[in-house]
């Protein structure tokens, strides 16, 4: 499943690239909102990079 990890201080989270849902973990809500906004703007690029990495 395409996903990315993010770390904020002692918090760690895994986000699905396809639907931008939290798969595991948590981070403070303010940082989560910023992270999801960032990911939404770059969702196509994140998915392309995931697919490229899977081919290697």
**pLDDT tens digits for 16-37?**
999 999 999 999 999 999 999 9
The predicted pLDDT at position 30 comes to: 97
User: What value does the mean pLDDT take over residues 35-47?
Assistant: 98
Rounded to whole angstroms, the Cα distance separating 18 from 3 reads 8
* pLDDT of 38 above 90: yes
The predicted pLDDT at position 56 comes to: 82
CA-CA-CA-CA torsion sign (24, 26, 27, 29) = positive
3, 17 Cβ separation under 8 angstroms: yes
Cα-to-chain-centroid distance, residue 49: 12
15, 21 Cβ separation under 8 angstroms: yes
* pLDDT of 46 above 90: yes
In 1-56 the beta strands, taken as DSSP E runs, fall at 3-8, 11-16, 22-25
Whole-structure pTM value? 0.90
């Amino acid at each position: 499943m395409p996903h990315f990890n993010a770390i904020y201080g002692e918090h760690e989270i895994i986000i699905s690239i396809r639907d931008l849902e939290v798969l595991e973990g948590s981070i403070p809500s303010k940082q989560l909102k910023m992270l999801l906004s960032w990911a939404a703007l770059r969702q196509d690029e994140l998915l392309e990079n995931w697919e490229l990495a899977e081919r290697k």
